[in-house]
């Protein structure tokens, strides 16, 4: 049976760090308050657009697979923070990677579930024989949407990109099952309030723009249920038992949601990969970044059963069950890096302050 296996992986995290101590200097919060409620210690702030982070992550994934961009049939860019609406951000990534005209590319926006949605979509395209090699990239610059006058959301989000290459295999590896869902009854629980064409008739130039807005209590409650339910469904659909799961790589949104999902799968802490403390919530990018680090740190072995689980705005949710292939080391390495910046943290955040307002301690 033809399946899709991950053959390459890579990540890109910007160098500028926004720590909890930095946030303490802006608003009425503390390291303890943030850590207890989210598990986050710091997050990254990008000085470049999502497409540039995507190109770096994609270059590392291609090298790990031992492939060039000319070997790729399709690029899927998972993001909710696009460089532009027209053209799609995938076009910018296509250009930066110097992909040939024959390589198709499109955006997929399922918010924080975007990577798992894209992984399942790409895998099914490969299984069908439509494509053979697909580059899936998730890239987010959520920092551009942060309103630092709202401490409930300002402490949560950061920027990053991660990527994987998928190829066909006839072995018993690859994607074994996948589940996706959408609970649109809760679509207003997580949104960017002044975004999209449906807002245009009522928007006036003098109006303040709104950043990310979230009903934290409802999102938390629904996320715990959705991630747990879909993870169990994915394991069962693969014909496996919960005891067969070797590693859970969940969306890194909140350590309490991660812990609840792990309990639903009856997994001990050493079978759950987390890096939320270092990067915060980078939306669609959290899972591929975590996957790359898990491989580097030896959490995954040939044949490991790995569960990916995510939820996001919409409210979307998705889970995938994968049996890892024979290789856990990259075939080659890329020297791709982001262009350097001399801008300070506060210089990078100044646009947020101008658009959304200054946080209380900087007024």
- Which residues are known catalytic residues? 112, 251, 281
* Cβ partners under 8 Å of residue 247, min gap 6: 271, 272, 273, 294, 299, 300, 304, 305, 306, 307
Helix segments in the chain, DSSP class H = 20-24, 31-38, 50-65, 89-96, 114-128, 151-154, 216-237, 255-264, 276-279, 286-296, 345-356
Residue 160 vs residues 46, 50, 97, 236, 321: alpha-carbon distances, Å? 8, 8, 18, 32, 24
φ, ψ at 248 (rounded to 5°): -105, 125
Distance of CA 273 to the CA centre of its chain: 14
Which pair of tokens denotes residue 233? 């469904």
Which pair of tokens denotes residue 95? 């250009």
Cα–Cα distance between 92 and 159 in angstroms, integer? 18
* Cβ partners under 8 Å of residue 32, min gap 6: none
Read off the DSSP letter of residue 181: E
Which pair of tokens denotes residue 80? 């909710």
């Amino acid at each position: 049976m033809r399946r899709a296996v991950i053959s390459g992986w890579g990540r890109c995290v910007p160098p500028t760090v926004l720590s909890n101590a930095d946030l303490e200097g802006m608003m009425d919060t503390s390291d303890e308050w943030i850590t207890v409620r989210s598990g986050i210690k710091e997050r990254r702030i990008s000085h470049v657009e999502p497409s540039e982070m995507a190109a770096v992550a994609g270059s590392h994934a291609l090298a790990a697979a031992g492939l060039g961009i000319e070997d790729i049939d399709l690029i899927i860019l998972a993001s909710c923070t696009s460089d532009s609406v027209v053209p799609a951000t995938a076009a910018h990534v296509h250009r930066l990677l110097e992909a040939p005209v024959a390589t198709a590319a499109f955006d997929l926006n399922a918010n924080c579930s975007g990577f798992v949605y894209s992984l399942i979509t790409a895998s099914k395209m490969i299984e069908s024989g439509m494509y053979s090699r697909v580059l899936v990239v998730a890239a987010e610059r959520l920092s551009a949407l942060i309103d630092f006058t709202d401490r409930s959301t300002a402490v949560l989000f950061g920027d990053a990109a991660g990527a994987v290459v998928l190829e066909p295999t006839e072995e018993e590896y690859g994607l074994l099952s996948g589940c996706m869902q959408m609970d649109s009854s809760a679509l207003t629980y997580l949104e960017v309030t002044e975004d999209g064409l449906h807002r245009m008739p009522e928007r006036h130039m003098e109006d303040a723009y709104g950043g990310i807005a979230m009903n934290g209590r409802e999102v938390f409650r629904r996320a715990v249920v959705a991630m747990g339910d879909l993870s169990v469904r994915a394991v069962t659909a693969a014909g496996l038992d919960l005891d067969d799961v070797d590693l859970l790589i969940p969306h890194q949104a909140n350590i309490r949601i991660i812990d609840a999902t792990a309990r639903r799968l009856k997994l001990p802490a050493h079978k759950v990969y987390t890096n939320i403390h270092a990067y915060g919530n980078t939306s669609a990018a959290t899972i591929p970044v975590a996957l790359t680090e898990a491989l580097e740190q030896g959490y995954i072995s040939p044949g490991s059963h790995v569960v990916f689980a995510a939820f996001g705005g919409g409210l979307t949710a998705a889970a995938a069950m994968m049996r890892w292939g024979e290789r856990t080391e990259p075939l080659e390495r890329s020297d791709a890096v982001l262009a350097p910046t001399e801008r300070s943290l506060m210089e990078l955040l100044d646009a947020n302050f101008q658009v959304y307002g200054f946080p209380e301690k900087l007024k």
